[in-house]
């Protein structure tokens, strides 16, 4: 009899642990064996949140399978130049949230950062100040972008690297149209002069849809969202002894500033593109870097 009670109690303990109420903590407990403390923290929190999500929406078998199919298709859409998982993260606001968590420091007075995006290509050609980054004429509006790179005290930073890239008047980045645009069209690296100044000639960027022929585009349509980004120029700015900055400058006249599909717009990053006497648009965009003596120029 004593043996029988023990067996029944033992079975019940297993059942409770693996019931809807007990399963989450059972998985979390098993992850307790993870030796890397950060991996343990991340996996345990991920498990708790994932289980809470399934419980909250009462996830059905079919919905679970649809989710698996969606993630499979997302992975299958990735290749050397297409990263569908980053697009998913971008459109869910996760990329912007991670950027805010790690790089937002309003007290530093530095220029606000925003997401890198998938079209950055390292090692853009070095160009001289005042040069053009246009290597292919697609009828875009002639534009000059100029500004000064400073630190938070207002001191200009000489020798800072300003790495820029943006799309053509057709809406596409050079990397998206390898058979059409030269690979270095509309991108380049500049070095600020002794007074911290940079300047380049280009064409006005235009709003564009993010790649929408994959599962993320389908999800945007299924959820009644558009796929457009507000017009912008990307910038990576770095200098010795300063925290590197990845940001954009947005065109104040662009559509989609209020509804950028990847949540990248910040008020402080919006600038005017004002025509001068001969009709060339002038965008003045100063950049403030945060001093950080540990940072070495890349």
Positions that interact with ligand BEZ (CB under 6 A): 87, 90, 115, 117-119, 210, 229, 262
Between 157 and 233, name the residue whose CB sits nearer to ligand BEZ. Answer: 233
CB of 150 to Fe ion, least distance (A): 25
- What are the backbone dihedrals phi and psi of residue 287, each rounded to the nearest 5 degrees, phi first? -125, 135
Residue in 218, 178, 220, 182 with CA at minimum distance from that of residue 80: 178
Between 157 and 265, name the residue whose CB sits nearer to ligand BEZ. Answer: 265
Distance CA 245, CA 288 (A): 9
Residue number with the smallest Cβ distance to ligand BEZ = 117
- What are the backbone dihedrals phi and psi of residue 252, each rounded to the nearest 5 degrees, phi first? -55, -25
Site for Fe ion in 118-137 (CB under 5 A): none
Between 83 and 295, name the residue whose CB sits nearer to ligand BEZ. Answer: 83
Task: Pick one of ligand BEZ, Fe ion, none as the site partner of residue 249 (Cβ within 5 to 8 A by kind).
Answer: none
Distance CA 157, CA 171 (A): 33
Task: Pick one of Fe ion, ligand BEZ, none as the site partner of residue 257 (Cβ within 5 to 8 A by kind).
Answer: none
Distance CA 249, CA 262 (A): 15
Task: Pick one of ligand BEZ, Fe ion, none as the site partner of residue 260 (Cβ within 5 to 8 A by kind).
Answer: none
Task: Pick one of ligand BEZ, Fe ion, none as the site partner of residue 118 (Cβ within 5 to 8 A by kind).
Answer: ligand BEZ
Across the strands, what pairs with 237? 162, 245
Report angle CA 179, 181, 183 to the nearest 5 degrees: 95
CB-CB neighbours of 219 under 10 Å: 17
CB of 210 to ligand BEZ, least distance (A): 4
CB of 138 to ligand BEZ, least distance (A): 17
Task: Pick one of Fe ion, ligand BEZ, none as the site partner of residue 262 (Cβ within 5 to 8 A by kind).
Answer: ligand BEZ
- Contact (CB, 8 A) for 293 and 241: yes
Between 166 and 290, name the residue whose CB sits nearer to Fe ion. Answer: 166
Size of the residue set binding Fe ion (CB under 5 A): 1
Distance CA 147, CA 282 (A): 10
Residue in 136, 138, 93, 87 with CA at minimum distance from that of residue 114: 93
Q: From the list 113, 117, 215, 217, which residue makes contact with Fe ion (rule: CB under 5 A)? A: 117
Taking each helix axis from N to C end, the angle separating 84-91 and 215-222, rounded to the nearest 10 degrees, works out to 20
Between 46 and 98, name the residue whose CB sits nearer to ligand BEZ. Answer: 98
Stretch of 99-107, 111-119, 124-132, 181-189 lying at the interface with Fe ion (CB under 5 A): 111-119
Taking each helix axis from N to C end, the angle separating 2-17 and 23-31, rounded to the nearest 10 degrees, works out to 80
Cβ within 8 Å of residue 135, ≥6 positions away: 181, 182, 184, 185, 186
CB of 165 to Fe ion, least distance (A): 8
Between 127 and 229, name the residue whose CB sits nearer to ligand BEZ. Answer: 229
Task: Pick one of ligand BEZ, Fe ion, none as the site partner of residue 288 (Cβ within 5 to 8 A by kind).
Answer: none
Between 140 and 196, name the residue whose CB sits nearer to Fe ion. Answer: 140
Task: Pick one of Fe ion, ligand BEZ, none as the site partner of residue 157 (Cβ within 5 to 8 A by kind).
Answer: none
Residues near Fe ion, by CB under 5 A:
117
């Amino acid at each position: 009899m004593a043996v029988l009670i023990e067996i029944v109690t033992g079975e019940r303990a297993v059942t409770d642990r693996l019931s809807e109420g007990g399963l989450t903590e059972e998985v979390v407990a098993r992850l307790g064996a993870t030796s890397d403390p950060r991996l343990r923290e991340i996996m345990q929190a991920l498990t708790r949140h994932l289980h809470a999500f399934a419980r909250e929406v009462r996830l059905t078998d079919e919905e679970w399978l649809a989710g698996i199919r969606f993630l499979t298709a997302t992975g299958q859409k990735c290749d050397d130049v297409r990263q569908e998982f980053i697009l998913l993260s971008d459109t869910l606001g996760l990329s912007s949230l991670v950027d805010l968590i790690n790089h937002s420091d309003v007290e530093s007075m530095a220029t606000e950062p925003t997401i890198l995006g998938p079209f950055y290509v390292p090692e853009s050609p070095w160009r001289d100040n005042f040069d053009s980054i246009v290597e292919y004429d697609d009828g875009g509006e002639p534009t000059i972008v100029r500004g000064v790179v400073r630190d938070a005290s207002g001191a200009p930073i000489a020798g800072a690297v300003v790495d820029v890239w943006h799309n053509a008047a057709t809406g596409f980045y050079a990397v998206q149209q390898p058979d059409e645009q030269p690979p270095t069209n509309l991108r380049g690296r500049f070095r600020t002069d002794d007074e911290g100044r940079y300047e380049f000639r280009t064409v006005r960027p235009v709003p564009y849809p993010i790649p929408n022929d994959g599962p993320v585009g389908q999800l945007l349509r299924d959820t009644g969202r558009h796929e457009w980004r507000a017009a912008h120029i990307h910038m990576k700015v770095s200098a010795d002894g300063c925290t590197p900055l990845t940001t954009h400058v947005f065109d104040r006249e662009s559509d989609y500033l209020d509804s950028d599909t990847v949540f990248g717009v910040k008020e402080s990053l919006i600038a005017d593109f004002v025509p001068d006497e001969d009709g060339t648009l002038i965008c003045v965009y100063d950049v403030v870097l945060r001093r950080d003596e540990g940072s070495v120029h890349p």
